[in-house]
């Protein structure tokens, strides 16, 4: 399953943006995952946890904001929450729709706790 490859990308991004000596302070990595992204959230969590075990990131977890699949019709301008991938406007039947949300696969932010040593 490709969630492992996605999790590897997340770990690489964290390493690129967080100093090595701060990795142990990473507590949560917030993701935005659309229901039409092709990624299964609990599989992604499973793969991430497997990857970070026994590494400097092993105090971190991923938090996933799920975004539902919404399309907008160019003909009647209505926005509709439809089954994943469906392209026909449920209001007027038009084929001229565009995806408003639901295909996101983003890393939003990384949250670190403060270094305990700074408060010693």
Contact positions vs another protein (CB under 8 A): 1-2, 5-6, 9-10, 12-13, 17-18, 27, 31, 36-39, 83-88, 95, 105-114
Name the one residue in this structure whose structure tokens are 């917030």: 30
Which token pair is 119? 């408060």
Q: How near is the Cβ of 114 to another protein at its closest, in Å? A: 6
Q: Are strands 79-81 and 97-101 parallel, antiparallel or unpaired?
A: unpaired
Strand, coil or helix: 96: coil
Question: Which residue's CB is nearer to another protein, number 76 or number 88?
Answer: 88
Q: How near is the Cβ of 58 to another protein at its closest, in Å? A: 18
Q: How near is the Cβ of 55 to another protein at its closest, in Å? A: 18
Query: What span, in angstroms and rounded, lies between the C-alpha atoms of 78 and 73?
Result: 5
């Amino acid at each position: 399953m490709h969630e492992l490859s996605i999790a590897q990308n997340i770990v690489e991004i964290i390493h690129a943006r967080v100093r090595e000596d701060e990795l142990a302070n990473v507590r949560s990595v917030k993701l935005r995952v659309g229901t039409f992204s092709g990624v299964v959230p609990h599989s992604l969590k499973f793969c991430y946890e497997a990857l970070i075990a026994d590494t400097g990131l092993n105090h971190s977890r991923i938090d996933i904001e799920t975004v539902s699949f919404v399309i907008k019709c160019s003909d009647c301008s209505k926005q509709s929450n439809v089954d994943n991938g469906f392209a026909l406007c449920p209001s007027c039947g038009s084929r001229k729709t565009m995806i408003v949300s639901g295909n996101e696969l983003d890393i939003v932010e990384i949250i670190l706790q403060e270094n305990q040593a700074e408060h010693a």
